[in-house]
Amino acid sequence: MKAPKSLMHQLELGRELSDSCVLCGLEHYQAKRYLEGVANDGVNNIPLRQRLMRLGGYCPRHCLVFDELTHLLSSAILFDDFLKTRLARAAAGKRPLNLQCEACAVEQKTRDALMQSIKRYRQDAALQEFLLTAPLCLSHIEQLSRQLPEAVRKQLIAKHDGLLSRLAELIRKHDYRFSDENMTPEEIKSVRQALTLLGVRE
Ligand SMILES: [Zn+2]
Ligand SMILES: [Zn+2]
């Protein structure tokens, strides 16, 4: 079954949005759109603010995204809500709220929808080609692998053989018996590449 154009366009958008992972790019984009909505009128929306307080506010990463896309007053109003709620619980000796970040939930929903579509169209050559050439983080490789045919899955994993060998060489050359062998610039860079693959954002 051929993947619909809309899915391919969405994936292309992800590639434009992120150098390190197409799917992270798309998830973060949807969460940002949700946070933009809140920034535009949400701080005047009392039921929304009450709901956010019940959920414990946003996670640290999404507090930062919110702060970066809005003006000082909106950040002050929301963060005041979050701090007051959590500090009041702490003051009463209550257990910390189990934080349920709505922006993280938007990312999860995006991820689930993408994984479902990819699974549905996993036999499409164009989709396979895209996924094999696009940058992906480890967490998305792990999730994607389960949706893909075995041959594609193996290729997707094999893409990282080079990185594993460079790391192995770097480790080997730290042994005193091989200390006369110089590390290559690529081997030195491998730790940073591992961090990117592990999902650390620059
Ligand atoms: Zn990712
Ligand atoms: Zn979050």
Ligand nearest to the backbone CA of 144: 1
Q: What is the pLDDT of residues 129-178, one digit of tens each?
A: 999 999 999 999 999 999 999 999 999 999 999 999 999 999 999 988 98
Q: Is residue 186 part of a domain?
A: yes
Task: Give the count of domains, the chain.
Answer: 2
Q: Is residue 12 part of a domain?
A: yes
pLDDT given at position 202:
59
Confidence class of residue 93 from pLDDT cuts 50, 70 and 90?
A: very high
Residues 80, 151 within the same domain? yes
pLDDT given at position 44:
86
Q: Which domain, by its residues, includes 184?
A: 161-197
Query: Residue 136 C-alpha to ligand 1 middle, in angstroms?
Result: 5
Q: Is residue 149 part of a domain?
A: yes
Q: Is residue 119 part of a domain?
A: yes
Distances in whole angstroms, Cα of residue 114 to Cα of each of 79, 88, 103, 105, 117: 32, 39, 17, 14, 5
Residues 146, 174 within the same domain? no
Residues 154, 165 within the same domain? no
Query: Residue 15 C-alpha to ligand 1 middle, in angstroms?
Result: 11
Q: Is residue 53 part of a domain?
A: yes
pLDDT given at position 91:
97
Q: Is residue 34 part of a domain?
A: yes
Query: Residue 137 C-alpha to ligand 1 middle, in angstroms?
Result: 4
Mean pLDDT in residue range 90-109: 96
Q: Is residue 37 part of a domain?
A: yes
Residues 186, 131 within the same domain? no
Query: Residue 36 C-alpha to ligand 1 middle, in angstroms?
Result: 22
Q: What is the pLDDT of residues 179-198, one digit of tens each?
A: 888 999 999 999 999 999 99
Q: What is the pLDDT of residues 11-68, one digit of tens each?
A: 999 999 998 899 999 999 999 999 999 998 778 899 999 999 999 999 999 999 999 9
pLDDT reading at 118 higher than 90: yes
Residue whose pair of structure tokens reads 């292309």 in the numeric block: 12
pLDDT given at position 180:
87
DSSP state of 70: S
Residues 85, 150 within the same domain? yes
Residues 19, 64 within the same domain? yes
In sequence order, what DSSP letters do the residues of 79-98 get, joined into one string? HHHHHHHHHHHHHTTPPPP-
| Calpha distance 191→23 (Å, rounded) | 22
| Calpha distance 33→103 (Å, rounded) | 9
Mean pLDDT in residue range 77-93: 95
Residues 126, 38 within the same domain? yes
Q: Is residue 202 part of a domain?
A: no
Residues 178, 153 within the same domain? no
pLDDT given at position 43:
80
Residues 90, 133 within the same domain? yes
Residues 57, 151 within the same domain? yes
Residues 50, 136 within the same domain? yes
Residues 166, 143 within the same domain? no
